[in-house]
Amino acid sequence: MKDKNLPNDYNTLSLEELTQEANRMIEDLENQKDLENSIESYQTLLKLNNIIEKKFQKDIRSVSENTKENILKITSKKDEKKIK
């Protein structure tokens, strides 16, 4: 599924905003009586879910990289103190 096919530009929204949009779509789907009309909405929800997963993975990588950098800074400071 191509994320670019979504009607709104979801790539600019935060994870929280995307999650709220997904929850709204789920509520709409749960309230629909005619399942034939819900197929397109469900497919859009799947695409939105893919975007959320990608953003989440990107955020996880960023946090991991920042944590590694901070650990290196802390350990290098400790090593400098030991040498002095």
pTM above 0.75, yes or no: no
Amino acid at 50: N
**5-19, 32-46, 69-83: range with lowest mean pLDDT:** 5-19
Please choose, from the candidates 16, 38, 40, the residue with its C-alpha nearest in 3D space to the C-alpha of residue 27.
38
The pLDDT value recorded for residue 2 is 44
The pLDDT value recorded for residue 6 is 53
Average pLDDT over residues 6-35: 84
Q: What are 52's two structure tokens?
A: 């959320």
Q: What is the pLDDT of residues 59-84, one digit of tens each?
A: 999 999 999 999 998 888 877 777 76
Amino acid at 21: E
- Core vs surface per residue 22-50: b (16+ CB within 10 A) or e: beebeeeeeeeeeeeebeeeeebbebbee
